[in-house]
Structure 1
Amino acid sequence: MKIRYGLNHLRTLLVATVIVLLSGLAYAQIAAEPPPSAPSFTFSSLTGEQFDMPGFNQDKPTLLYFWATWCPYCKKATPRVVALHNDYGELIDVLAINVGINDSVALTKKYIQDYAITFPVMFDHDSNVSASYGVFGTPVFVIVSADGGILYRGHRYPDGLERALSL
């Protein structure tokens, strides 16, 4: 009877080990793949500057900040994005993209003044850029590497971003 219990225990341990090894191999394969490429677009900022993305700045990463003037979470996040630009602008570019839904250029310009935004801001009139990045709510933060790969995409401000930039 004890031998049977031992074999069942050994079989369970063996199956668990195989699952862990396969999971590790799958993770290694995923980790080895390059990040997905950022969708490209050309835009004019609200101040009239022309930009291309990716390639906005090929020397450093870019934070794309998708937002709206009516978004309460954006109103909390915007000061942090402004501080990021002010403190780390030499290490990361910031581009704010108003998603253009239930919003206007006039309200966007007022928002820029209210929050003392000095980085480029575009108004996504037809929401095509927002849709190409999978933005269906605000805020959304996307970090694009200097070579055009998406390093992060999420509704939360990327925790540890400042710490990573200060290394």
Structure 2
Amino acid sequence: MKFQSICLAASLFLLTISNAFAEQKASSNTPSNIVPDWQLTMQNGEPINLKMFEGKPVILHFWATWCPYCKRLQPKLVELVEKHPEVVLVGISFNEDEDAKPQDVLAERGYTFKTAVNGEEVVRKFGVSGTPTTFFIKRNGEAIFKYTSSDVKDPRLLKATQVIAEK
């Protein structure tokens, strides 16, 4: 019974990743779980894109300032990055009120990770349907885990961080 549960969980995980990136598949030689590049700006107008973090493991966190589940998950994501400093945490804010200031909200919470704003275009590219949605991306650009919960006790968060941090 336990083995069946593990197999089912593994199958659902692989299905989630494949579905999220199936339309991004460029050729038969490109795995479907390689994340698409994107270009946005931060609240201060500075450009930010995925290429800036090329060769680094990335936790890509889609969130919104009004989202209580995002607020609950963010301390855990910051903790994971503190345990694995080679991992970069990057946020993409979307579905915000017109006057929202995501970077200010993060600063008020004591966080310094960079956040892109007006991320709706990237949300569509990644197939994100709600907040929070967090991708764990290896150095080669391969997404190995998509997380759509705010359960900070979920052991998969640490495991996914350890996997992407591997050389």
1:95 to 90, 106, 123: 90
Whether 1:50 and 2:47 are equivalent positions in the alignment is yes
Unmatched 5+ stretches in structure 1: 1-26
Normalized against structure 2, the TM-score is what? 0.66
Deviation by residue 1:76-128 (Cα, 9 ceiling, x = unmatched): 10111222233323x211111111x1434544233112222212111125x11
Partner of 1:72: 68
Q: Which runs of 5+ in 2 are unaligned?
A: 1-13, 19-29, 151-155
The AA in structure 1 aligned to 2:123 is S
Q: Highest Rg: 1 or 2?
A: 1
Q: Secondary structure at the match of 1:56?
A: helix
Aligned equivalent of 1:130, options 94, 108, 123? 123
Cα distance change, pair 84–48 in 1 and its aligned pair in 2 (3 A)? farther
Residues of 2 paired with 1:37 and 1:163: CA distance? 18
Q: Return closer, same or farther for 1:81/1:37 CA change in 2, 3 Å cut-off.
A: same
Deviation at 1:63, TM superposition (A): 0.8
1:146 to 130, 139, 154: 139
- Check conservation: 1:105, 1:123, Cα contact below 8 A: no
Q: Quick one: percent identity of the two aligned structures?
A: 24
The alignment yields a C-alpha RMSD, in angstroms, of 2.8
Q: CA deviation at 1:154?
A: 2.4
> Structure 1 CA distance, aligned partners of 2:162 and 2:135?
17
Name the SS of the counterpart of 2:53 in structure 1. coil
- Taking the aligned partners of 2:91 and 2:32, their CA distance within structure 1 comes to 22
8 Å contact 1:43–1:50 — kept in the other structure?
yes
* Equivalent residue letter for 1:153: K
**Matched residue pairs, number?**
133
Per the normalisation by structure 1, the TM-score is 0.66
1:60 aligns with 2:53: no
